[in-house]
């Protein structure tokens, strides 16, 4: 039987259909947009079907395109399973790793850990994206990311979860700052954000006073940098200070409320993680529990 299907062309089409974008497929495959478009045209010619609407700035599948895409998903899922089985057989993870996390978690946890991990496992290529809640959910559903590194919340109850690190949100300050947060005000990420509302409520109940908000900065990492360079107080998760990243910061007052959190890896239920992914997760968990 003669096989006319070019798997590279199919992969380019699959990734464009998955993301809904020729440019995203080009980025994922390290080629030009023109190369993706040409490959899809050649794939259409070899299969004698029209796969997508050829309109500028728009990528939409035809009925035949949907059919080919569904088969392509199964093909590349089988290819990944084959590579993963070989990795397990050789007891050496080699598959490329794709995951997603938020900006603050990524900047806080990944730089030092990635250096350690890639020294131990140079054969694993690590790719990651920064995204918000909706992007994380979308990338997991589309298969663009194998897993996500997030703070445990009700938003992720439908996913399988594995604990990486447990810690606390607390009020931190520059070590030279006076113990008077009510005079200076507090940097927070979002007044309605994770753990902030509970912290402010507990503070008011325990002190019978409102804690003034100095600014909402939408990034725990940015808050830590503000404290490091200019002083003041910030309500942030303690993982921001891991690996001695901000040596000038310290806990503001041990008597102030602290809100516990769990940092987890989540992935789609019913899908097994690759050997590379599980190796990454196990090493990250061990690294931050040291």
pLDDT attached to residue 57 = 66
- Under the banding of pLDDT at 50, 70 and 90, the label for residue 119 is very high
- Tens-place pLDDT, residues 124-180: 999 999 998 889 998 898 888 999 999 998 889 999 999 999 999 999 999 998 888
Residues 6+ apart with CB under 8 A from 121: 93, 279, 280, 283
pLDDT at 180: 84
| Average pLDDT of span 262-270 | 94
Give residue 242's pLDDT: 87
* pLDDT of 63 above 50: yes
DSSP H or E segment with residue 24? helix 22-29
CA 110, 116, 119, 123 torsion: positive or negative? negative
What pTM was estimated for this model as a whole? 0.81
pLDDT digits (tens, 9 = 90+) for 194-226: 789 899 999 888 888 888 999 999 889 999 999
Distance CA 143, CA 267 (A): 10
Helix (H) or strand (E) holding 103: helix 103-120
Are the beta carbons of 80 and 14 closer than 8 angstroms? Answer: no
**pLDDT for 140:** 92
**pLDDT tens across 7-56, in order?**
999 999 999 998 888 988 898 888 999 999 999 999 999 999 999 987 66
Partners of residue 172 on adjacent β-strands: 234, 251
> Which pLDDT score, from 0 to 100, does residue 1 have?
43
Could you tell me if 164 and 239 are in contact, meaning their C-beta atoms sit under 8 angstroms apart?
A: no
Quote the pLDDT of residue 193.
79
| Tokens encoding 9 | 């062309």
């Amino acid at each position: 039987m003669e096989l006319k299907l070019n798997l590279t062309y199919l992969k380019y089409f699959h990734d464009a259909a998955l993301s809904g974008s020729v440019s995203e497929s080009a980025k994922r495959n390290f080629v030009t947009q023109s190369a993706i478009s040409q490959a899809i045209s050649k794939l259409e010619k070899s299969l004698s079907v029209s796969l997508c609407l050829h309109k500028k700035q728009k990528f939409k599948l035809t009925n035949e395109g949907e059919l080919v895409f569904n088969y392509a998903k199964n093909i590349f899922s089988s290819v990944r399973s084959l590579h993963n089985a070989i990795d397990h057989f050789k007891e050496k993870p080699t598959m490329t790793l794709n995951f997603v996390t938020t900006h603050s978690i990524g900047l806080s946890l990944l730089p030092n850990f990635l250096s350690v991990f890639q020294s131990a496992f140079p054969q694993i290529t690590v790719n990651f994206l920064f995204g918000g809640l909706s992007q994380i959910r979308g990338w997991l559903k589309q298969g663009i990311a194998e897993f996500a590194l997030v703070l445990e919340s009700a938003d992720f109850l439908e996913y399988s979860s594995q604990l990486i690190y447990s810690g606390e949100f607390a009020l931190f300050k520059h070590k030279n700052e006076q113990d008077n947060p009510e005079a200076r005000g507090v940097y927070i990420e979002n007044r309605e954000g994770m753990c902030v509302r509970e912290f402010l409520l507990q503070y008011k109940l325990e002190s019978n006073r409102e804690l003034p908000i100095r600014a909402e900065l939408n990034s725990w990492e940015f808050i830590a940098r503000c404290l490091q360079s200019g002083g003041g107080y910030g309500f942030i998760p303690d993982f921001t200070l891991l690996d001695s990243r901000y040596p000038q910061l310290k806990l503001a007052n041990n008597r102030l409320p602290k809100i516990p959190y769990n940092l987890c890896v989540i992935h789609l239920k019913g899908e097994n993680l690759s050997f590379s992914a599980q190796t990454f997760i196990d090493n990250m968990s061990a690294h931050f529990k040291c």
